[in-house]
Structure 1
Amino acid sequence: MIKFMLREVKSVYPLKNYHLILEFDNDEYRIIDIKPFIKGSVFEPLKNPAFFKQVKVDPDAGTITWPNGADLDPAVLYEKSAPFKLPGEDAAKSF
């Protein structure tokens, strides 16, 4: 049996080309390409880079959201993202 831990997003950092760096509640940083999720009318505004950058964390839902109400399931965000190392992260752990 696989034990699944629900993860919540603590912070989000928008990057170019529809990528986001996400910080999860386990203090893990992960990076995700949102392009595959930009489908349907609610996600259409995200194609505008200025609108895409307006992403915020909804602390009540534990996920990311945009001003028009578009959001993504935090479990999907975690599953579809890849681990992201911050510069100097390995060096900091050695102290």
Structure 2
Amino acid sequence: MNPNVIHVEVMNTYHLKLTFENEEVRVFDVAPFLEKGIFQELKEMSYFKQASVAFGGIQWPHEQDFSKDTLYLLSSPEIA
């Protein structure tokens, strides 16, 4: 079972810096999803910046979301 996201920091490059409950910090690239259906709205940076933690994953006001599993499995460890 993958850990929950406990904090999100939105980056200007359509990346999310995520802190998981196991204290890992990982980076998730949203760019590959921006041309798909409901995720197209995320191309507007002011809207993209409204990402928030919900139910262990990330969501936006119009209910676009990524589960904790997607976020953990498709993210990369942060490089210091």
Counterpart residue number, 1:18: 14
Counterpart residue number, 1:34: 30
Counterpart residue number, 2:74: 80
**TM-score of the pair, normalised by structure 1:** 0.77
Question: Partners of 2:76 and 2:20 in 1: how far apart?
Answer: 12
Question: Partners of 1:72 and 1:37 in 2: how far apart?
Answer: 11
5+ residue gaps in structure 2? none
- Which 4+ residue blocks in structure 1 deviate beyond 2 angstroms? none
> What aligned pairs does 1:34-53 form with structure 2 within 5 A after superposition?
34-38=30-34, 39-40=36-37, 42-53=38-49
Deviation (angstroms), 1:23: 0.5
- Larger strand proportion, structure 1 or 2? 2
Partner SS state of residue 17, structure 1: coil
Q: Is the 8 A contact 1:12 1:56 kept in 2?
A: yes
Q: Percent identity?
A: 41
| Number of equivalences | 79
Q: Is the 8 A contact 1:31 1:84 kept in 2?
A: yes
